[in-house]
Amino acid sequence: MIVRTMAALIDTLHQDHKNYAVLLNLLSAEADKLERGQEPDFVRMYDIANYMVSYPDTYHHPHEELIFDVLGALEPDCSEQVLELNNEHRQLAVTGQTLKAAVNGVINGAIIPMDRILENARAYIDLLWKHMDMEEGSIFPKAKNTLEDSEWQLINDKISQVEDPLFGDVVLTQYQKLYEGIIRNSDT
Ligand SMILES: [Fe+2]
Ligand SMILES: [Fe+2]
């Protein structure tokens, strides 16, 4: 995530959410195939889970937590929501890692019940949608209204300036296939 100005941080997080929505739609399409008893694209499912536990869990969520913690301290009314969102970050990481491991197992020939993978994928999708809705609909607007420039500056100083490996200027080799799938999907 490359952030050059204070206000740009929320805009970058918002753009991240749009990117994750694309991935959730792709993952949902694979879950639908599973539900119909069809063979899903397990490699695509793995790539999505792998990306989600790598970039968002390492950068997007911790960056949000820097904002949430300042907001929670300034606005006690928000502290319950902040706690919930922070807990959901842990839950998303665990659910994402479980999905990644299960799909990786299938790819490598392990016998894993398909309904478990379906349940896992649906749980991840539902949780991230709910989570992003609360951020976009409630906490981001409150942060924008509450935090002063000096607070944004302090947060900004702690941000890791890392380029997104899938949606950034350079697509990492390991995400190339997923990236092509995203582009193909957006053409249809
Ligand atoms: Fe979040
Ligand atoms: Fe988020």
What are the tens digits of pLDDT across the range 54-109? 999 999 999 999 999 999 999 999 999 999 999 999 999 999 999 999 999 999 99
CA 68 to ligand 2 center in whole angstroms: 11
Of the candidate CATH numbers 1.10.238.10, 1.20.120.520, 1.10.240.10, 3.40.50.150, the domain formed by 8-187 belongs to 1.20.120.520
Q: What is the CA radius of gyration of the chain?
A: 17
Q: Compute, in angstroms, the gap from residue 135 CA to the centroid of ligand 1.
A: 7
CB contact at 8 A, 67 and 9: yes
- Predicted TM-score of the model (pTM): 0.93
Ligand 1: distance of its center to the CA of 57 in Å?
9
For helices 61-74 and 149-158, the axis angle rounded to 10 degrees is: 150
